[in-house]
Structure 1
């Protein structure tokens, strides 16, 4: 077993040699110091390693016969270590609460408590990752292109959903112009994201637990890198929250691809038109719809014509409205 940042045992404070020897003993009834000497990592003397493991209660000497060591059952051996670790973490949390209260109560220069400017690609990525790690309840996003290099509409969202957070995202209609973007959105919706689309999203924005907002700074001169503004509790943050809530009410809900809304026209659902309706309701052109569905422009036109005939609609607008009334609009 390699020891790195993902090693779950590293948090318990075991030295690499101690962990290697203990894991070796777990697989067998017992072993002599000589047998264990070849297992340890590093230059530590095996008697020092075994003495440390004994002090921690992880190994014991086998009674009678030549000197041999056996592993103590992990469920017993690590219980006290875990309790000690939990106690230290709880103490650290209490101390951090005191520090945070002092931080909030400290004298502030005018405007210092409201906004913070973070510049530079590395600094921005690090700060955004930190903010998302401390999110506990909900992350709301206004999403629109262009995206920074290496990012897309899904950046960061999947991890938040895996952690069980509520994620609400309003996508700019232009997000759907990019081939494959609908598939990305559908994957996130399947994972639990609540998604809506709006003809024009005014700005990219992330709201974290209604206590922080992150707004990218547009139009940075070439060579100056990325920049974001972090907004803390204030009238400005309240205004950004109201902006999101207002846009959320206006935006069109994207239906779940795994739970299509019921339709009166069964042939309409049976012919796989749900994605077409979603894109029509989003206001995309035939060309953009063709890119998303991987179809030719002419095929898309034929399917739209069939949809309009199925719904008794005379225009694309009527088709979208009819489809919305029959279940695709969703709850606002």
Structure 2
């Protein structure tokens, strides 16, 4: 009987140890999302998120700030001084705000990459691809936001940002005001490279045929993939046809 009880105790201890290890390895669901309530709390969390970034901050900015405004926030300057890269998409109405042009000028002065669209789907800030801040819509007057840690939801938010970023137009500020730059398209050599690749030639064969270096061909293909926002050459071929960069042969 004592031996039986001892075996049961050992089994229970093993199960508890396994549950403990699983608890350490996998964060609880409620640890993946924080709810922040109140303008001061949201603003403070926004500052912390930027100050804690070490590589990149991505942001979608609307023309109706509630808890966070660029004028009272110098975290971007501090982050830029540490070498943190910024990619920001502005809603067009941001430039109509009292300090809109001033803040755009300051951002471009920090060498931030800034693009513009008619409307962004939501305010959003993502730091290092591991932490995001997104506002909560509420019928009350008190601002609130979600802080999202690494999870499927964060991946979804990152995908949303990249989608908006690809469709937005780069902007620059000159003597004549804000200028929107149309994204660079492929040149004649790019189109030749694409046509030969789609015909089945290898990178080396394309390079030899066009009297280019192999690295030059690969670099051009990489730029075209970045331009179309794809990750595989198969996707690049599809986009090339859809955008009319290469002619689709019809066989009768």
Q: What TM-score do the two structures reach when normalised by structure 1?
A: 0.45
Partner of 2:171: 254
Partner of 1:174: 93
Partner of 1:209: 128
After superposition, the Cα gap between the structure-2 partners of 1:104 and 1:194, relative to the gap in structure 1 and judged at 3 Å, is farther
Contact 2:40-2:67 within 8 A present in 1 as well: no
Determine which of 138, 152, 155 is the counterpart of 1:235.
152
**1:278-317 to 2 correspondence within 5 Å?**
278=179, 281=180
Where does the alignment leave 5 or more consecutive residues of structure 2 unmatched? Answer: 1-20, 185-226, 228-252
Provide the rounded CA distance (Å) in 2 between the counterparts of 1:103 and 1:139: 32
Contact 2:35-2:146 within 8 A present in 1 as well: yes
Does the alignment pair 1:128 with 2:31? no
Partner of 1:142: 60
Q: Secondary structure at the match of 2:48?
A: helix
After superposition, the Cα gap between the structure-2 partners of 1:187 and 1:130, relative to the gap in structure 1 and judged at 3 Å, is closer
After superposition, the Cα gap between the structure-2 partners of 1:149 and 1:216, relative to the gap in structure 1 and judged at 3 Å, is closer
Provide the rounded CA distance (Å) in 2 between the counterparts of 1:233 and 1:251: 26
How many residues of Structure 1 are paired with residues of Structure 2 in the alignment?
Answer: 164
Provide the rounded CA distance (Å) in 2 between the counterparts of 1:206 and 1:192: 18
Partner of 1:152: 70
Q: Indicate the structure (1 or 2) with the bigger Cα radius of gyration.
A: 1
**1:40-55 to 2 correspondence within 5 Å?**
none
Provide the rounded CA distance (Å) in 2 between the counterparts of 1:188 and 1:104: 42
Provide the rounded CA distance (Å) in 1 between the counterparts of 2:161 and 2:46: 19
Provide the rounded CA distance (Å) in 2 between the counterparts of 1:252 and 1:153: 24
Q: Secondary structure at the match of 2:63?
A: coil
1:276-313, Cα deviation, whole Å (9 max, x unpaired):
5x2xx4xxxxxxxxxxxxxxxxxxxxxxxxxxxxxxxx
After superposition, the Cα gap between the structure-2 partners of 1:186 and 1:209, relative to the gap in structure 1 and judged at 3 Å, is same
Provide the rounded CA distance (Å) in 2 between the counterparts of 1:121 and 1:195: 26
Q: Secondary structure at the match of 1:247?
A: helix
Report 1 or 2 for greater relative contact order, CA contacts < 8 Å, sequence distance ≥ 6. Answer: 2
**1:1-332 to 2 correspondence within 5 Å?**
105=24, 108-109=27-28, 111-148=29-66, 151-152=69-70, 155=73, 156-222=75-141, 225-255=142-172, 257=174, 272-273=175-176, 275=177, 278=179, 281=180, 328-331=181-184
